[in-house]
Amino acid sequence: MEKKERYEELAAQVLDLVGGKDNIAFFTHCVTRLRFNLKDKGRAKKGDKEKISGVLGVQWQGDQLQVIVGQSVGEVYKMICKVSGLKEEEPINENLDEKTNKGFSIKGLFSILLNTLSSILAPIIPAIVACGLLQGLLYSAQSLGWIDATTDTYNFFFTCSQAAFYFLPILVAFSAAKRFKCNPYLAAATVAILMHPSFAAMAGTEIKLFGILPITYAGYSSTVIPAILTVYFQSFIEKLCKKFVPNMIDIIVTPLITVLVSSIVGWALIAPIGGWIGTFVAEGILWLYTTLGALGGAICGAVYPFMLMTGMQVAMSPITVQNLATLGYDFIYPCTACSNAAMAVCALYIFWKSKNKSTKSMGLSTGITGLIGVTEPVFFGLIAKYKKALIATMVGGAAGGLVMGAFTVQYLSFGFVPFGTIVLAMTETFSYYLIGVGVSMVVAFVMMMLLKWRDTDEAV
């Protein structure tokens, strides 16, 4: 069956599910869900969802019926509007959705943050998965002795595998611009300026722009927060230009002012703030570990997914370097090994339980590479998508981190945890490393069972 025919059939089934087009008062969609405000809630046939192929779940959110269909939501929405004659509405901006986010609360704020980050990062998952899988395959081949790390062939594929991670800010900028409704090409250009190799090569150098404005060069490759914050600011500059610049010269003036102003403010203020947040969190993690011991290790293991989500794990590198130089080993890596192991197990659990072919495939492939130590694909592809998987990852990471912190487990260098470069964990604390990783895997698996994860538990 062709894609168009599948969407037509799905559209007809969804319309029947909500009680027919005459029962629809308002209809829109968000990142993964069709959102219906119905005239008569009693006419909805929520129990029939199991009969519809392509519908992952149905739930009421207040007075709104939400039908979860996944990443194809845009195409399904257009087809429903086409066959029913309904007017197409603007997609929901979940940051401003007053119907589902009434009032202020920490839980609501966290949900908004998670939804925003997920909607920005979800479109770039294929690029991350491609490079992540290549990286995992490369390290597997190296570990098995099939390829020599000193050869040109290895260097070529290793460089290819790093591309999506090194240029991650540009991918994030393009996606963030669509979220914040500004020009994605201008956003990509601005963030490309932030991570230009010429500026990165002068990291730590301070200049005075116009002889007044202080700018300190830094390297922003592989980061996320500086890109998102800069594009968010740029969206306001662009809208301001659109409001005041005459149409006749808009194509010339607006791009120039938007990129120029955003680049200056980005370098001088926004990107450093994003970098400072990463450093602050990294230093906080170090303080927790060294001050609280086992409890600090548990906290490290629990919060690492959020560091991965925002690119803050890059800020941990100086701490690892310092530990290796002064102690001869690092104690943060074992905690991240627990988090990675928990993520991998959650992915494999999803592979086991999911009825969706694409989800099962994602669970198996990213679960395996997660065990090797390449976790961006599994996190952005599954963990950030499912709240129950995120909870299980945090609890599993915390349980394993508790063991790592209690015995100050050692790791001898930068590597891929938990198992990609396990030889680096073979010190006098190796047995505790294996126990910690094992505990995190078992606890994460048990949590997924207790939480009763299903395909319908999609977060956004």
97, pLDDT greater than 80? no
Section 115-130 average pLDDT: 72
Q: Please state the length of the chain.
A: 460
Same domain, 274 and 130: yes
Whole-number pLDDT of residue 92: 62
Based on the structure, what is the number of domains in the chain? Answer: 3
CATH of the domain at 66: 3.30.1360.60
Same domain, 125 and 167: yes
**Considering the chain, what percentage of its residues have pLDDT values greater than 70?**
85
* Domain end residue (candidates: 260, 281, 302): 281
Whole-number pLDDT of residue 107: 53
Same domain, 341 and 270: no
Residue 460 maps to a domain? no
Task: Give one word for 4, left, alpha or beta, with left for phi > 0 and alpha for psi -120 to 50.
Answer: alpha
Whole-number pLDDT of residue 429: 93
User: Residue 228 to residues 31, 94, 197, 271, 275: CA-CA distances in angstroms?
Assistant: 18, 16, 20, 9, 12
Residue 106 maps to a domain? no
Nearest C-alpha neighbor of 116 from the set 94, 92, 91: 94
Residue 113 maps to a domain? no
Residue 100 maps to a domain? no
Same domain, 319 and 419: yes
Tokens 């993690």: give the residue: 285
Q: Measured between alpha carbons, how far is 212 from 193 in angstroms, rounded to an integer?
A: 20
Q: What per-residue string of b and e applies to 302-319 under the rule 16 or more CB within 10 Å gives b? A: bbbbbbbbbbbbbbbeeb
Same domain, 297 and 256: no
Q: What are the φ and ψ backbone dihedral angles of 232, each rounded to 5 degrees? A: -60, -45
* Domain end residue (candidates: 281, 300, 326): 281
* Domain, as residue range, for 372: 292-451
460, pLDDT greater than 60? no
Residue 76 maps to a domain? yes
Whole-number pLDDT of residue 335: 93
Query: Are the beta carbons of 386 and 350 closer than 8 angstroms?
Result: yes
Helix (H, G, I), strand (E, B) or coil at 166: helix
Please state whether the peptide bond connecting residue 123 to the residue before it is cis, i.e. omega within 30 degrees of 0.
Answer: no
Same domain, 161 and 55: no
Same domain, 20 and 166: no
Residue 238 maps to a domain? yes
Q: Parallel, antiparallel, or unpaired: how do β-strands 64-68 and 57-61 relate?
A: antiparallel
Q: Measured between alpha carbons, how far is 65 from 39 in angstroms, rounded to an integer?
A: 11
Same domain, 181 and 322: no
Query: Are the beta carbons of 278 and 294 closer than 8 angstroms?
Result: no
Which of 76-85, 123-132, 161-170, 205-214 shows the lowest per-residue confidence on average (mean pLDDT)?
A: 123-132
Give the relative orientation of helices 184-194 and 225-244 as an angle to the nearest 10 degrees: 130
Give the relative orientation of helices 168-179 and 184-194 as an angle to the nearest 10 degrees: 150
HEC readout, the chain: CCHHHHHHHHHHHHHHHCCCHHHEEEEEECCCEEEEEECCHHHCCHHHHHHCCCCCEEEEECCEEEEECHHHHHHHHHHHHHHHCCCCCCCCCCCCCCCCCCCCCHHHHHHHHHHHHHHHHHHHHHHHHHHHHHHHHHHHHHHCCCCCCCCHHHHHHHHHHHHHHHCHHHHHHHHHHHHCCCCHHHHHHHHHHHCCHHHHCCCCCEEEECCCEEEECCCCCCCCHHHHHHHHHHHHHHHHHHHHCCHHHHHHHHHHHHHHHHHHHHHHHHHHHHHHHHHHHHHHHHHHHHHHCHHHHHHHHHHHHHHHHHCHHHHHHHHHHHHHHHCCCECCHHHHHHHHHHHHHHHHHHHHHCCCHHHHHHHHHHHHHHHHCCCHHHHHHHHCCEHHHHHHHHHHHHHHHHHHHHCCCCECCCCCCCCCCHHHHCCCCHHHHHHHHHHHHHHHHHHHHHHCCCCCCECC
Q: Measured between alpha carbons, how far is 70 from 73 in angstroms, rounded to an integer?
A: 6
* Domain end residue (candidates: 224, 255, 281): 281
Whole-number pLDDT of residue 124: 78
Q: For the segment 206-218, what is each residue's pLDDT rounded down to a tens digit? A: 899 988 999 988 8
From the CA atom positions of the chain, what is the Rg in Å?
24
Q: For the segment 302-330, what is each residue's pLDDT rounded down to a tens digit? A: 999 888 776 666 667 657 766 765 677 88
Nearest C-alpha neighbor of 447 from the set 400, 389, 398, 374: 389
Q: For the segment 400-441, what is each residue's pLDDT rounded down to a tens digit? A: 999 999 999 998 877 788 998 788 888 889 999 999 999 999
Same domain, 296 and 211: no
Q: Measured between alpha carbons, how far is 380 from 436 in angstroms, rounded to an integer?
A: 24
Residue 240 maps to a domain? yes
Same domain, 87 and 179: no
Section 229-243 average pLDDT: 93
Section 236-253 average pLDDT: 91
Residue 97 maps to a domain? no
Whole-number pLDDT of residue 388: 92
Section 36-47 average pLDDT: 81
Section 146-158 average pLDDT: 90
Same domain, 425 and 312: yes
Choose between 453 and 454: higher pLDDT. 453
Choose between 451 and 309: higher pLDDT. 451
**Considering the chain, what percentage of its residues have pLDDT values greater than 90?**
31
Same domain, 313 and 380: yes
Q: Measured between alpha carbons, how far is 48 from 157 in angstroms, rounded to an integer?
A: 48
Whole-number pLDDT of residue 337: 95
